[in-house]
Structure 1
């Protein structure tokens, strides 16, 4: 199943519009926040998303591109920042910003490779599939940002609608959300990921790709405390009320389950490399397909190894070639 290329924007609340854009068998949801004076775009999609989908959606909404004065890039994954150059071309009056910790990877693809896509090479001996890296390069055109989206910063859209930047790390170090208090809505992109990322038809695609476990848990707790009626993500249906709360609880429960699986696996004789852990846990950690999903699981498993080491429950016990071996203490 693929997303309808002619999908129209959907108004979820006054001044909050969702635009579902195609991403293979998945979709990437971008959002427009509109006030009386200006508008904010949350995320840019991959290269081509803005001219092919966002600009037509703005036309349908009656919003001129010159009214978009802020573009917030949620984080440094290519399906969220690959269209930054498009944003630069389309929105002449816009200030384009991202979280401070993710800025370098968004502006420089080599930095993205070193610290995000291939960020597990040095410490874990795990590298990304070359085909995935080739696709990432093909959907990305870098451009300089205009500054950072700092926690607590406000964007006045006019008519009493003030959007607020919220730091929500865990999936990446610099992931940011946008709070729309007037609509009781929170735009979170990939800040929380449930128990699996889903295809457009709702079936499981691959594991939740959080990376920094304590930060991720803190973000879940912060979102629960904020308790907005609308929880708006990049790859899941719109969630309201109890469904949003259930999703946050599901996200936390998955973290606990995966950490237990990692702890048990490294307690067995000989320890485990990251590659061995991923191969062992991928068939039992969730309901996603086994084929082609190990690269996604490597990110949270690496995060759990780091957390177990930090808490004194694990250590680096040796190496197998260039890959570290991890064992329980």
Structure 2
């Protein structure tokens, strides 16, 4: 029998209404107590269309993202359930997707996953039977009523809402285009980008690759807390190189965290001119995300239909004049 058509998720509704989308990220706890995660998620809820629950980000052991997403769901908070291929074979991936659907979770971000050697369990055995495109293809099959082996699901098709990651700063432009198109063909309904540090590159991606794709692109905005934080990212986060001028701005600040909030709000404003949303990351300081959005001129209610604003002052954001911060 077919499942009745469920109500659209908050994220789906925002996309259908053409709103400027806002998502944010929380990490499940390293232990068994979800209280801090839930507190942060409740603070974020009025501001966002969905809350990403990370799945072993940087290959660090944390609570199951499926369990954490279910806890958010129980507290009437909308999760975006991240699912990485690193730790599961096709049976486990599909089992977790079926379980997520059964729990009422609809938004799923399909990820390949960070390498094991990057994390705190370096002797663990990585699986990687699938990567993100194949995972999207499996979700597409489940939504059509079959599994990876084309066997029918006995109680009908799922209604998962899949998204994917994208890195506009990829070193290979042709590779970026090819992979983006494959994810579109595999059914990705929205895209969240990696941390953006080069907004010229994002603009090029939006105009040369993503234009006309019919799927919202959310720019990844990361709260830099200090110059030390920026140096750490440059050293340990693959594919990200925070500009020296930005690091100097943090180094020269009397209150680096305050400056980091300002920088993130400027980046949100710039993203409003380029794409259809932002995905905010503020590790261990998720409570500051509402302040970032407020300074960017966004309210705590879900925004009205998206109308691109005028570009921010290039002296602040464009990185053109010497000595100014090349806002990525």
Question: TM-score, normalization: structure 1?
Answer: 0.33
Higher normalized strand content (fraction of residues): 1
Larger relative contact order (CA 8 Å, sep ≥ 6): 2
